[in-house]
Structure 1
Amino acid sequence: MHPAFSVIFLTTLIGVGQGLFLALYTGQLYALANLLPAQSSQFYALGSLVALVLLIAGLIASIFHLGRPERAWRAATQWRTSWLSREVIVLPMAMGLVFLYGLVHWFEWTSPLFVISGALPLDLSLIIGALGTLVTFALFLCTAMIYASLKFIKAWHHPLTVANFLFLGLGSGFMLAAAFSAYEGTALVGFYATWAVIATLLGAISRGVSLYRNGRLKCKVDLQSGIGVHHSNLKQQSQGFMGGSFNTREFFHGKSPATLKVIRYAFLLMVFVMPVVLIVLSYAIESATLPLAAFAVQYLGLILERYHFFTEAQHPQNLYYQSMA
């Protein structure tokens, strides 16, 4: 498939934003259980603002993929059968809950509403955060299932697609949380960085397995079965016209195997190896800047990873439209 940068930025930006929100809420829950030092409401408010900006940036990026942006609202009408429609509905819900979560912390509306079992104070931010967590995981599922639900694209039609979107979003989000904590000078850098490394390593496993699987996929159809001529020496010489078309632009990436190999090795290094090394170094030398570098490197790698994700998808029509006379 042709990698559209609007969709690449959409999926990577909202993934980071979702992961960052989950990191913030996880930190708040750990602090509530006295497992981490409590942070100020402003810390959670500013972190939520960063997450919201990322979600909005992803939404804006998606607009450039639309042929008729003024009709975008129609995408939500097919929610019963379309994962894209569900994503269109769930994304604004996630944005709204992240906004409310940050708003509650900004105005410090965090007085306990009631106490559970006489020991667990429950405030408005915890309730909104719990709802936001559910919606955020639903958004991960909707975004991934847009691709995993396509049976005719074998590279995507697998649970590994959902796992990859989830782990890479969590890894990058927690990595950004570690960078944000380092920038704010809080004591949560180690906590967020540890979970970022765990999610990144899980992502390395799931993405590695998907690369292995996709590299061994065999197409069940060929030119012979497509046109009903079963000669053993059949090959395409022309696509029927002299230049490119919608089919050659949108369903094929046009990159050589050597180029794709370079992209694959680059994103494996930048997403899974370099960030972990930088985080370990930040532990060793107690650096406040290396977590920032780790996130920056990982996000650039995620752009390459998502580019490669689209090139892995072999649309069946490419049997007939890859060659131009």
Structure 2
Amino acid sequence: MNPALSVVFFTVLAGLGQGLAVSLALGVLAGLLAPSGAFLGWGLAAAIALLVAGLVASFLHLGRPERAWRAAAMWRTSWLSREVIVLPAFIGLLVLWWLARRAGDWPAALSAWLALATIALALLLWLCTAMIYACIRFIQEWAHPLTVFNYTLIGLASGLVLACSLAAALGEGRLLAALGPFALAATLAAGAVRLASFERNARLRPASTLQSATGIRARKLTQLAMGMSAGSFNTREFFHGVAAASVRHIRLTAMLCAFVLPALLMAWGLLAASPLPWIAAVGVQLPGLLTERWVFFAQARHPQNLYYQRVA
């Protein structure tokens, strides 16, 4: 597939915002954050900004952005429509929580309910986003439960790392001490699940063949050109144009920057009383996650590519 950078940025930024919001909710439920504290306000503002930035990025992929609202019409059968509904609801919930925090004294029970609702909607949004791809049965690389686990764990891990980085920078030692080990564990778990999906996808074999795709029943069949003098929608949308060796190098870079190096930096951060390792972990992980998400889309092989095997 040819990854759309707008979708790459949307899924990474939205997942990061969801993970940060869940981290803040866990901090409130555990009594580590004051319901009206400044850190909670800054954290909610950052999560809202990330989600809105992701939403804006997603509009760049639309041919007619003014008709985006119509995407919600098929909510009974479409995971995309469900995502279109849940995402604004999640942003609205965070805005409501941010406004309630600014109101000052308010019941602690309300803070707990807002935190629980935040976790529930974040999980639902991860499910909707992942199922957009996991429900496409003819793309074997996506059509498996690991896609849902990948989106959820990567979003949660990146949000926990960002929350720990903010806690380290702003002096929230209790929150950092509590969430730090979970951030490291979530990053390692996300990396392990992503590696498992890479191993699974490497063993996949197309259900169709070049013979069945072209209708030519010759025993030995080799395609030398795509059969036209210029490109088409099919060749632009479903071919990323990067050599297979380069994709392998990009995948290795993604694993190192998204999981391995951040884990090492977090281990250093847990041992050292310095915010530097946590801030560095965010700086390394974000481009790694963008690279990982590019690979997620690029590794998907659309069945039509059996017909347009070679763009020449």
- Give the TM-score, by structure 2 length: 0.96
2:182 to 195, 199, 212: 195
Distance (whole Å) between structure 2 residues aligned to residue 75 and residue 237 of structure 1: 40
Give the equivalent residue in structure 2 for 1:17: 17
Deviation of the 1:177 alpha carbon? 0.2
1:102 to 98, 102, 117: 98
- Is 1:59 aligned to 2:55, yes or no? yes
Give the equivalent residue in structure 2 for 1:76: 72
Distance (whole Å) between structure 2 residues aligned to residue 155 and residue 82 of structure 1: 20
1:294 to 264, 271, 281: 281
Q: Which amino acid aligns with 1:316?
A: P
Distance (whole Å) between structure 2 residues aligned to residue 246 and residue 109 of structure 1: 57
Distance (whole Å) between structure 1 residues aligned to residue 309 and residue 53 of structure 2: 34
Give the equivalent residue in structure 2 for 1:117: none
Give the equivalent residue in structure 2 for 1:220: 207
CA shift digits 1:218-260 (9 cap, x unpaired): 0011121123322112121222211211111111111111111
Aligned residues with identical type, % of pairs: 47
How much is the aligned-residue C-alpha RMSD, in angstroms?
1.4
Distance (whole Å) between structure 2 residues aligned to residue 75 and residue 109 of structure 1: 40
Q: Which amino acid aligns with 1:210?
A: S
- Is 1:41 aligned to 2:37, yes or no? yes
Count the aligned residue pairs.
311
Give the equivalent residue in structure 2 for 1:131: 117
Deviation of the 1:168 alpha carbon? 0.3
Q: Secondary structure at the match of 2:30?
A: helix
Distance (whole Å) between structure 2 residues aligned to residue 198 and residue 54 of structure 1: 23
Distance (whole Å) between structure 2 residues aligned to residue 254 and residue 163 of structure 1: 28
- Is 1:175 aligned to 2:171, yes or no? no
CA contact (8 A) 2:28 2:115 kept: no
Deviation of the 1:284 alpha carbon? 2.4
CA contact (8 A) 1:274 1:294 kept: yes
CA contact (8 A) 1:46 1:102 kept: no
Distance (whole Å) between structure 2 residues aligned to residue 163 and residue 142 of structure 1: 12
1:185 to 171, 175, 178: 171
- Give unmatched runs, 5+ long, in structure 2: none
- Is 1:149 aligned to 2:135, yes or no? yes
Give the equivalent residue in structure 2 for 1:271: 258
CA shift digits 1:240-284 (9 cap, x unpaired): 211211111111111111111111111111111111111111222
Q: Secondary structure at the match of 1:25?
A: helix
Q: Which amino acid aligns with 2:165?
A: A
Tell me whether 14-23 or 249-258 shows the greater mean CA deviation: 249-258
Tell me whether 224-233 or 88-97 shows the greater mean CA deviation: 224-233
Deviation of the 1:313 alpha carbon? 0.4
CA contact (8 A) 1:241 1:324 kept: no
Deviation of the 1:287 alpha carbon? 1.1
Deviation of the 1:107 alpha carbon? 2.2
- Give the TM-score, by structure 1 length: 0.92
- Is 1:312 aligned to 2:299, yes or no? yes
CA shift digits 1:170-210 (9 cap, x unpaired): 00000000011112111122222211111111111211110
Q: Secondary structure at the match of 2:205?
A: coil
Q: Which amino acid aligns with 1:277?
A: L
